[in-house]
Amino acid sequence: MATDPSYGRRDFLKDSVVSVAKAAHELAKQQTVVPEQSAPPPVRTDWLRPPGAVSEALFLDRCTQCGDCGKVCPYGSITSHPVNGTPVIFADQMPCYLCEDVPCIAACATEALLPVEGRMQIRMGLAVVSHRACTAGQGCYACASKCPTDALSMDFNRQQLVVTSERCVGCGLCEQVCRTVNDRVAIRVTPVRLLAQSLS
């Protein structure tokens, strides 16, 4: 193929510079688009309300996001919800240790948290076992041995962990223990508000 005799070295350099500039411009456009496409991490919905919490609708009406319940929690279990600032507990990170005097309830001045007669009357959620992931059949009873209300037991005939719903208060200690001793978390607490939705 014949070369254009009028196309000289100067034209070649000029075209090369333009080509490099275009490539740089396209690269810059792609780099600015990538962060916009990456979505923020989803907000977790598996949080629990502190002990003594009233029904969710009433709780949202009464809670002033003052943070007093979290300030008095000796374990740092109660944190603020990342969206609305209301008090929540992420059981797998720091469960509720069911303090005898329940200081979080005493600290609540708006009755979003109401007094309970004892730890067995607390209802934050219900532990649910994934038997496919659970290693109780292989001899792991870590969650059952740490359960403060004896809600977990072993059915040796079926080689399965059993949750006694009447005794489970949803403190989440089992979930946190399972997370620390196993590769897969086999027991999780379903928050009481989600249980109410599934029953309605």
3-class DSSP state of 155: strand
Ordered alpha helix ranges (H), 51-141: 56-62, 68-72, 103-107
Q: What is the pLDDT of residue 42?
A: 76
Instruction: Please indicate, yes or no, if residue 9 is contained in any of the structural domains.
Output: no
* CA distances to 38, 104, 126, 142, 168 from 138, in Å: 41, 38, 24, 12, 23
CA 12 to chain CA centroid, Å, is: 59
Q: Inform me whether the pLDDT recorded for 61 exceeds 80.
A: yes
Domain range for 78: 56-199
Residue 160 phi/psi, 5° resolution? -135, 150
CA distance 175 to 96: 11
Angle, CA 68 vertex, CA 64 and CA 70 arms, to 5°: 110
**Could you tell me the pTM of the whole model?**
0.76
136: which DSSP letter?
A: G
Instruction: Please indicate, yes or no, if residue 104 is contained in any of the structural domains.
Output: yes
Instruction: Please indicate, yes or no, if residue 106 is contained in any of the structural domains.
Output: yes
pLDDT digits (tens, 9 = 90+) for 132-149: 999 998 999 899 999 999
3-class DSSP state of 89: strand
Cβ–Cβ under 8 Å, residues 191 and 50: no
Instruction: Please indicate, yes or no, if residue 47 is contained in any of the structural domains.
Output: no
Instruction: Please indicate, yes or no, if residue 19 is contained in any of the structural domains.
Output: no
34 pLDDT band, cuts 50/70/90, is: very low
Number of structural domains (the chain) is: 1
Q: How many residues would you count in the chain?
A: 200
CATH number at residue 71: 3.30.70.20
Instruction: Please indicate, yes or no, if residue 60 is contained in any of the structural domains.
Output: yes
CA distance 94 to 86: 17
Over residues 33-44, the mean pLDDT reads 62
Could you tell me what percent of the chain has a pLDDT over 70? 78
Residue located via tokens 């350099």: 13
Q: What is the pLDDT of residue 16?
A: 61
More confident residue, 4 or 98: 98
Instruction: Please indicate, yes or no, if residue 162 is contained in any of the structural domains.
Output: yes
Closest CA to 134 of 187, 92, 188, 190: 187
pLDDT digits (tens, 9 = 90+) for 161-181: 999 999 999 999 999 999 999
Instruction: Please indicate, yes or no, if residue 97 is contained in any of the structural domains.
Output: yes
